[in-house]
Amino acid sequence: MLRAGITALACADEAGRGALCGPVSLGVVVVTASTPAAPRGVRDSKLLSPAQRRELMPRIQAWAPHAVGMASAHEIDEIGIMAALRLAGQRALAAVPLAPDHVLLDGNHDYISEPEQPALFGQLSPLCTVPAVTTMVKADVRCAGVAAASILAKTARDLLLVELHDQHPEYGWADNKGYGAPDHLEALARLGPTPHHRVSWRLPTPG
C-alpha cells in the first residue's frame, strides 16, 4: 500500500470484542517506506503464547510509532460495542506520535470512521480526523504491521485483566482474560457481575 502514494500507513487491529468484561482495545502501528522489517517472530497474536507476546511487545514498541486505545466496559454498555470500537480506534489514532494518511484495518468492516448515517444511539464527536480506511480480512496474517498492532492490543488488554484479577480473583481473569471460560461463567452465575463486566450483555446471573 505504501507504493500507492501512501506515506504513513497505520496498521490496526482490536482485541477483546467478544469478552464478557474489561475494555475493548485497538492497537496501531505506523509504518513508512523507511520502516525496517518487523522484529523476528511477529505474527498474528492468536498464534503466539502470552509469553511470546510479552517478549515481542517492547521490540515492537522500539520498531515503529505505536499506540493503544481502549474503551471501557461501562462505555461499551453506554454506546454499544461498535461505537466503543470506534472510540478505542480514534483514541489510538489521536495518541500515535506519527500521524498516518491511511489506515489498514483487520476485518471486513470499517468501525473507525464516522458513520455516514447517525446511529440510533452511541453517536460521539470524533476525537480526531480519521484518514481513509482500507479493511482487509486476515490482515493480521497477511501484514506484519497489523500483526504487530494485534500483539500490542492484546498484550495491553491482557496485562490490565491480570491487574483486575487481583481485585476479583474468583472470576479467573488472569487466565481467561475476561472471556466466557467455564470458571468465569460459573463465578458469574454464583456471584453476579462486577463493575468491570459488560452488564448490557446477556450474562449468567445468580438464582
Q: What is the pTM of this model?
A: 0.92
Grouping H, G, I as helix, E, B as strand and the rest as coil, residue 66 is strand
Alpha-carbon distances, residue 203 vs 19, 82, 194 (angstroms) = 11, 19, 11
What string of pLDDT tens digits covers the 207 residues of the chain?
666 788 999 999 999 999 999 999 999 999 999 999 999 999 878 888 999 999 999 999 999 999 999 999 999 999 999 999 999 999 999 999 999 999 999 999 999 998 876 554 445 556 678 899 999 999 989 999 999 999 999 999 999 999 999 999 999 999 999 999 999 999 999 999 999 999 999 999 897
Write the class of the CATH domain 2-155: alpha beta
Q: Where are the beta strands (DSSP E) in 142-184?
A: none
Can you give the residue ranges of every domain in the chain? 2-155
